[in-house]
Amino acid sequence: MKKKNTYLLFPVALSFLLACSADVGYAPDKDYSGQSPSYNADELGDLPDCDSKHEGMVVHVDNYRNKDYACSEGYWVALGESSTDKKLPDVHETSDDAVALHEKFKNVESVQILDTRDNKVYKAIVLGDLVWMAENLDYETRYSRTNPQCEDLGIKCGRYYMWDDAAYGNDDYSSVCLPGMRLPTEEDVDKLVEFIGGVSNGYVLKSKSYWEESEDAPLGTDELGFNAYPAGYKRSSRNYFEYFGTETVFWTDISNGYHSSLTLSLYSHNSILGTNWGPDWDNYMNVRCVGDL
């Protein structure tokens, strides 16, 4: 009887045992111990292929021993147990579509626009066929207000307007926006949401600083240069500003005729670009004007 080549089974069985009893079979040449994770994954199976595109990436995996993993020379290498209070972007954002989206953000053109009424110059960005202000409007009207907290910190929160003032505050009763620009329309809002890849990507519009950290949302990345500070707002019934650090709200021109308007909102506790009905017209909110390219 011919003898079986049983020795061929040994390395296969050994490698199987190693895979079951350890996270990796070798130590990486590079020291990743001081590198914080950039992304989060729920399971090991959510990790993308460890290829040249992901080389050096560190990902925190929640449901497998709560460990960080680094992509090193074709393998995902376990770095040890860790914990983080910060909400990280999902590792699925490293997909080809997500990478292409973020590459598009890098190519956003920045321009300057002049308000001929008071000669103030603003930063603006070109998103598709629209030009969006990249700073809050700072045109003074009779009823507009400023936030002392912003002034104390030396950041540009602009002025805050009631909706009637924002919609009709110009001398000719047009919007308070720069000549040739407007409060965002429903179509403008839809185009902004489409450009950033959906409402869940609101964090790319947030400034990198002044937002309170939350375990439920990634920090702002300001990838487009939109630079939305958490400027808060003021209710008409109170003589102080609220929610600085946790929220910013912009008026649109969309009204339901019942003393409320649709607003664009960003929050510290989630990554959503919110569109909300309900703020009373006599609350004081910020304005970002938009124009056609």
- Rounded average pLDDT over 243-267: 89
The four Cα atoms 273, 276, 281, 286 give a dihedral, to 10 degrees, of 0
Does the pLDDT of residue 245 top 80, yes or no? yes
- Please write the tens of the pLDDT for every residue from 40-91: 787 877 788 888 877 888 888 876 567 888 888 888 888 866 655 555 666 5
pLDDT digits (tens, 9 = 90+) for 31-47: 776 677 777 787 877 78
Q: Tokens representing 20?
A: 């079951």
pLDDT in tens, 100-155: 887 888 899 999 999 999 999 999 999 999 999 999 999 999 999 999 999 999 99
Domain limits, the chain: 6-86, 104-292
The pTM score is: 0.70
Among 271, 261, 225, 230, smallest CA distance to 248 is for: 230
CB atoms within 10 A of CB 92: 14
Q: Tokens for 146? A: 């400023």
Q: Quick one: CA dihedral 86, 103, 223, 181, positive or negative?
A: negative
* Confidence at residue 278, expressed as pLDDT on a 0 to 100 scale: 66
